[in-house]
Amino acid sequence: MTTFLTAGLLFDLDGTLVDTAPDLALAANHMLQTLGRPPEDEATVASWIGDGVPRLIKRALTGERFGEPDPVLFEEAQALYGDYYEAHVADRSLLYPGVAQTLAALRADGFRMACVTNKAGRFTRPLLRALGIAAFFDVILSGDEVARVKPDPLPLVVACERLGVARDGVALIGDSGNDMRAAKAAEIPAVAVAYGYHHGVDLTALGAAAITPTFADIRNFFRFEGRFLLSKAMP
């Protein structure tokens, strides 16, 4: 098994820490039905996850992976979706097995940890708080807090700076091609979870250094020897 010496761990959110598909589907169907359109099943909505809420909404409106709806319709749909999802962000979303226990163990081991997601902050923090894991993270970085989102490496670079840990002392844990591409561009090793919303993409081919079948197994991939690697970007 590949083992990494790290001081900091960066975690994706949707599909890695939390199964958010049930609430994303509820929000999507509220939006569609309010617009006079038929609802979609949860599996279909889950297939739209992975490129941020705006792209999910566009997929719901167009039925195409990279379709572009009428801009006015999109703005109306985005408002409907956002207001509903913000009010119901944790109605049915669940932590994947072992997440809370493993984060607690990693925290006790001494790792500094960040949650790095493309999800907007208005959804991210309420979700993490509702599921009882917000306090495990030294940094929470949402998609609307940086100029570019994953697969761009910028969110990972910013997260490392805020953690105070150099990039050669961190690793990313994620479930999608966007996570793997971002990590590769940032020159950060990535461990992919075998579950989540990768939609059958070969994550190893996209740069994953290792794949873990469960979240609980993640702890086996990392060692921490009590030293923090201060980022060169930090004063």
Task: Quote the tokens at residue 173.
Answer: 């844990």
Q: How many residues in the chain?
A: 235
Across the beta sheet with 210-212, the strand order is 139-141, 112-116, 8-11, 170-174, 190-193, 210-212
Catalytic residue among 12, 19, 23, 51: 12
> 179 near 206, Cβ under 8 Å?
no
> 150 near 182, Cβ under 8 Å?
yes
Name the maximum alpha-carbon separation found in the chain. 57
Query: What are the helix (H) ranges across 141-232?
Result: 154-163, 177-186
Q: Is 179 a catalytic residue?
A: no
Residues forming the active site: 12
